[in-house]
């Protein structure tokens, strides 16, 4: 028996390759599926089943493409409905993969069809659970993502409580836990950085598995502090439910080099968004007018999903040399399948063609400190709410809203003012600056963000936990 976790850091997502006696099961595959086909071929094995723990909201799974390539059967848990061929399992139904068995444990709560897959080894011993978004290390899945359900999040949280106590907690402490996500995923609140654990440890340390916890307490705690889901979540879930275009076709279309003239013409004709994925420093120094920055080196795909509201939006790329195909791939992982090509030669080719370029004023924290003391300036903090509450500039001139909700907060800021923007370190503030600048706002970026500001003598507030007083 072989179990391999294939973890993708930018999505904080774990897919799984399970092999026994020449047969393979894939659990929660990524959009690009050739890697699983190649791995099985190398091992002289055949992919028999594709298990989906639920309709994922934070990424587009590769189950449809992988089934077409291999003839493998897609398996969902009870209650799932799809527009493509899939096998809908019953609770406690078993599937043979070589000499091992996969047992379906229906664990609704995160979503209605959510299921945990129990792996039973060659000796008949319960070995591991692939818990999807039902159980994470340190947390559980958010219960507010059901597709077109009449149930409230409180109803689903109650279901999750029952699922954990009736299906997961009775299992032996030595069972290995393979979750669908780790830290950085928006599918839970406080996921561990670890991506593999032991069930007994979770029973001791995971707040949601407290033995003496009532259902009412669970519902209150699991819902406390959950921000609204990113806007792309429901759209990705529907793609996973209804199907999508072939990934290789999407990649071929997007991985097309364009000379500056052709790039500009397509941008105008197709009303395409120019997405610049270089570093924030490079973007600040020189970029194509009205382009948007989301650097591929950061939390790229989730930020694209949070900020670009139309999955069908035509996109043109300005990317680091050699990163074009990777960028198209990472866009497709969250359902953005309409990339039309990339600028051949990058920004240097654009300059050489005599095209207009723009820049963003970026100042050091020390320069910002001088301006703060000597002038009346407007400051916009785009960190998350928790970051802001834990410490921020102590000034009435500071406005705050999280970058995640910039589209919803355009009416809260004034085009007649100049805004000094900062986040924690500089990545998110340049994203915000690019969006605001493209919409006609006057912006100045503070390099190094709040991390650098804290090293000046400017007044800041620091949250002190009451338990430490």
- C-alpha neighbours within 13 Å on the C-beta side of residue 450: 24
Tell me the whole-structure pTM to 2 decimals: 0.93
**Would you say the C-alpha torsion 291, 295, 301, 305 has a positive or negative sign?**
negative
Residue 207 has pLDDT above 60, yes or no: yes
pLDDT at 225 (0 to 100): 87
pLDDT at 148 (0 to 100): 67
Residue 462 has pLDDT above 80, yes or no: no
pLDDT at 463 (0 to 100): 61
CATH number of 361-466: 3.40.250.10
Q: What is the mean pLDDT of residues 96-113?
A: 97
Residue 202 Cα distances to 4, 298, 358, angstroms: 21, 30, 51
Percent of the chain with pLDDT over 70: 98
Question: pLDDT tens digit string along 297-334?
Answer: 988 999 999 999 999 999 999 999 999 999 999 999 99
Nearest partner of 91 among 104, 75, 76, judged by Cα: 104
Listed by start position, the domains of the chain span 2-235, 245-350, 361-466
Question: pLDDT tens digit string along 217-276?
Answer: 999 999 998 888 999 999 999 999 999 999 999 999 999 999 999 999 999 999 999 999
pLDDT at 467 (0 to 100): 41
Nearest partner of 67 among 91, 44, 51, 55, judged by Cα: 51
- CB under 8 Å to 404, separation ≥6 — which residues? 227, 230, 306, 307, 384
pLDDT at 422 (0 to 100): 98
Percent of the chain with pLDDT over 90: 92
Buried b (16+ CB within 10 A) or exposed e, 328-359: bbbbbbbbbbbbbbbbbbbbebbeeeebeeee
The CATH T-level fold of domain 2-235 is Metallo-beta-lactamase; Chain A (3.60.15)
Q: How far is residue 172's CA from residue 374's CA, in Å, rounded to a whole number?
A: 65
* Contact between 33 and 65 (Cβ < 8 Å): yes
- Place 202 in a pLDDT band, splitting at 50, 70 and 90: very high
Q: How far is residue 131's CA from residue 115's CA, in Å, rounded to a whole number?
A: 7
pLDDT at 358 (0 to 100): 98
The answer to whether domain 245-350 and domain 361-466 are alike in fold is yes
* Contact between 366 and 456 (Cβ < 8 Å): yes
- Give the tokens for residue 45: 């094995």
Mean pLDDT over the full length of the chain? 95
Q: What is the mean pLDDT of residues 397-420?
A: 95
Question: pLDDT tens digit string along 37-76?
Answer: 999 999 999 999 999 999 999 999 999 999 999 999 999 9
pLDDT at 190 (0 to 100): 83
Question: pLDDT tens digit string along 171-195?
Answer: 999 999 999 999 989 888 889 999 9
CATH number of 245-350: 3.40.250.10
pLDDT at 189 (0 to 100): 85
Question: pLDDT tens digit string along 329-380?
Answer: 999 999 999 999 999 999 999 999 999 999 999 999 999 999 999 989 999 9
């Amino acid at each position: 028996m072989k179990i391999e976790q294939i973890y993708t850091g930018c999505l904080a997502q774990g897919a799984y390759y399970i092999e026994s006696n020449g047969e393979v099961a894939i659990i929660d595959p990524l959009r690009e599926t050739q890697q699983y086909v190649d791995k099985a071929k190398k091992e002289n094995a055949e992919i028999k089943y594709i298990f989906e723990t639920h309709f994922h909201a934070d990424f587009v799974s590769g189950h449809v493409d992988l089934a077409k390539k291999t003839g493998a059967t897609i398996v969902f848990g009870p209650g799932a409905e799809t527009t493509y061929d899939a096998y809908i399992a019953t609770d406690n139904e078993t599937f043979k993969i070589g000499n091992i068995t996969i047992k379906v444990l229906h664990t609704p709560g995160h979503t209605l069809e959510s299921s945990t897959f129990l792996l039973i080894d060659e000796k008949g011993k319960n070995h591991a659970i692939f818990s999807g978004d039902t159980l994470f290390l340190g947390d559980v899945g958010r219960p507010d993502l059901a597709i077109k359900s009449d149930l409230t999040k409180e109803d689903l949280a109650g279901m999750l409580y029952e699922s954990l106590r009736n299906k997961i907690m009775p299992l032996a402490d030595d069972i290995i836990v393979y979750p669908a996500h780790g830290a950085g995923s928006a599918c839970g609140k406080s996921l561990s950085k670890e991506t593999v654990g032991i069930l007994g440890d979770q029973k001791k340390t995971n707040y949601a598995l407290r033995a003496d916890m009532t259902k009412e307490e669970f519902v209150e705690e699991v819902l406390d502090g959950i921000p609204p889901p990113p806007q792309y979540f429901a759209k990705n879930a529907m793609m996973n439910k209804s199907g999508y275009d072939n990934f290789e076709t999407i990649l071929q279309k997007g991985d097309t080099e364009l000379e500056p003239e052709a790039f500009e013409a397509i941008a105008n004709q197709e009303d395409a968004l120019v997405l610049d994925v270089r570093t924030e420093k490079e973007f600040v120094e020189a970029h194509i007018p009205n382009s948007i920055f989301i650097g591929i080196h950061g939390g790229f795909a989730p930020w694209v999903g949070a900020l670009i509201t139309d999955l069908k939006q035509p996109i043109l790329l300005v990317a680091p040399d050699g990163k074009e195909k990777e960028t198209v791939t990472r866009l497709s992982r969250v359902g953005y399948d309409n990339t039309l090509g990339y600028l051949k030669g990058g920004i240097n080719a654009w300059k050489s063609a005599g095209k207009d370029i723009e820049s963003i004023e970026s100042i050091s924290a020390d320069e910002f400190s001088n301006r703060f003391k000597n002038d009346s300036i407007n400051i916009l903090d785009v960190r998350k709410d928790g970051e802001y509450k834990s410490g921020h500039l102590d000034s009435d001139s500071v406005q705050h809203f999280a970058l995640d909700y910039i589209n919803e907060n355009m009416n809260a800021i004034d085009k007649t003012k100049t805004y000094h923007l900062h986040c924690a370190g500089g990545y998110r503030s340049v994203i915000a600056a690019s969006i605001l600048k493209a919409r006609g706002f006057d912006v100045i970026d503070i390099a190094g963000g709040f991390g650098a500001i804290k090293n000046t003598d400017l007044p800041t507030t620091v949250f002190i936990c009451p338990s430490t007083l």
